[in-house]
Amino acid sequence: MTEVLRLLTRAQKLLRAAADEAMSRHGVRVGQNLVLEVLWETDGLTPGELAARLQVTTPTVVNTATRMEAAGLLVRRRDPADGRLVRLHLTPKARAAEQPIAEARRLLAEHATATLTDEERRHLHSALQKIIERMTESTPPTGPGDDAD
Amino acid sequence: MTEVLRLLTRAQKLLRAAADEAMSRHGVRVGQNLVLEVLWETDGLTPGELAARLQVTTPTVVNTATRMEAAGLLVRRRDPADGRLVRLHLTPKARAAEQPIAEARRLLAEHATATLTDEERRHLHSALQKIIERMTESTPPTGPGDDAD
DNA sequence: TCCAAATCGATAGCAAGCTAACGATAAGGC
DNA sequence: GCCTTATCGTTAGCTTGCTATCGATTTGGA
């Protein structure tokens, strides 16, 4: 029963490592790739907006943005209308990386699921969605022995 | 096509967060739980052996072991026969946590997959195994545009 | 109008993963 | 029998997550 959790962890770890290696070949780390994906579509978002879309906390985005700024992938601009806001804008360098990185991601996904039939892919997709729905919509059980030491 | 990867990442993240919360209630963090699982079965392993079983690097185990030592969950003992080796031994405190933590893990797995039928669970299991096999036994594609900046 | 409350990004510090480099100990070859 | 080499664990430093807290700015109420 708990075996499925282990497999899920292992698969995700292998995929993340492969993605990081592939992205690194284009000068982008795996976490930064997620930020890029959103900003390619909608440039000039704030860290908070980005965090909400990525389902990650704001500090995570702030730190990633700092590294990406150092790498020349984006710039921070203060919002002229609201001084609390910071807007993240991609540089030409980041835009140039869009096609190759998107392609790398597509190739990885294809490779990882190459031994699955279309039906197996659909089954996997729906099973994962059910788990996600379950975990987001109901609180996991507490269990009887709550001894926090 | 790349959607499956996103779902897999999201599901794993939700499960890991839920596991961390559940384990923390018993004074153990999610990473430490993995070390415990192995040592409950086979006490006195070296960091290297443990890393191999967990499919993690040795420094990861060393750092986790240091935190667990500080938390009073294990002790380091130099191997008398080979001075290079360090053996990790669980404390009574760690042994006392075995039942409740194993139960918490079982409950979490049950909860997460509660909305799946047995057949869906089998499908999920085999699909994940196929992906893992694929990722471990063949090198992912490089892609045409290898511009490392 | 001015001050309290809310909002937002940044910082500090932790967990858990990684690679690279270092130091100590064992083992083997000459 | 010594000295090179291999094998360990550890440390340093990175990425990517998290929570908690701080500082600055805006907003709203009195």
Average pLDDT over chain A reads 93
Q: What is the mean pLDDT of residues A2-24?
A: 95
Task: Assign residue A62 the CATH number of its domain.
Answer: 1.10.10.10
In a domain, B141, yes or no: no
Closest chain B residue by Cα to residue A34: B6
**What integer pLDDT is reported at residue A34 of this predicted model?**
97
ipTM for the complex shown? 0.90
The answer to whether the beta carbons of residues B50 and B35 sit under 8 Å apart is yes
Any domain includes A39: yes
What string of pLDDT tens digits covers the 149 residues of chain B? Answer: 689 999 999 999 999 999 999 999 999 999 999 999 999 999 999 999 999 999 999 999 999 999 999 999 999 999 999 999 999 999 999 999 999 999 999 999 999 999 999 999 999 999 999 999 999 987 767 655 444 33
Q: In 3-state terms, what secondary structure has residue A65? A: helix
- Residue A36 is assigned to a structural domain of this protein: yes
Are B56 and B65 spatial neighbours (Cβ–Cβ below 8 Å)? no
Distance CA A97, CA A32 (A): 12
Amino acid B144: pLDDT: 56
B75 within 8 A of B91, measured Cβ to Cβ: yes
Summarised one tens digit per residue, pLDDT across range A33-91 is 999 999 999 999 999 999 999 999 999 999 999 999 999 999 999 999 999 999 999 99
The reply to whether B146 falls in a domain is no
Domain count, chain A: 1
Give the closest nucleotide to B66 (alpha carbon vs C1'): D10
Partners of A54 on chain B (C-beta within 8 Å) are none
B15 within a domain of the structure (yes/no)? yes
Residue B120 lies in a domain: yes
The answer to the question of residue A10 being in a domain is no
User: What is the token pair recorded at B29?
Assistant: 């963090």
Token code pair at residue A59: 């500090």
Whether A109 contacts B131, CB under 8 Å = no
pLDDT of residue B107: 95
Q: Percentage of residues in chain A with pLDDT exceeding 70?
A: 93
* Percentage of chain A exceeding pLDDT 90: 89
Distance CA A76, CA A66 (A): 9
- For B2-58, give the DSSP string: THHHHHHHHHHHHHHHHHHHHHHTTT--HHHHHHHHHHHHSTTB-HHHHHHHHTS-H
Residue type, position B8, single letter: L
From the CA of A74 to the C1' of C12: give the distance in Å.
24
Rounded CA-CA distance A128/A53 in Å is 19
A112-126 tens-digit pLDDT: 999 999 999 999 999
Between A71 and A149, residue with greater pLDDT: A71
Closest-CA distance of chain A to residue B90, Å: 17
Q: Is residue A93 part of a domain?
A: yes
Helix (H, G, I), strand (E, B) or coil at B89: strand
Task: Tell me the residue range of the domain where B29 lies.
Answer: 3-136
Strand C nucleotides within 7 Å of a protein CB: 7-13, 15-20, 23-27
pLDDT at residue B67, rounded to an integer: 98
In chain A, residues 67 through 86 whose Cβ sits under 7 angstroms from any atom of nucleic acid strand D: 67, 82-84
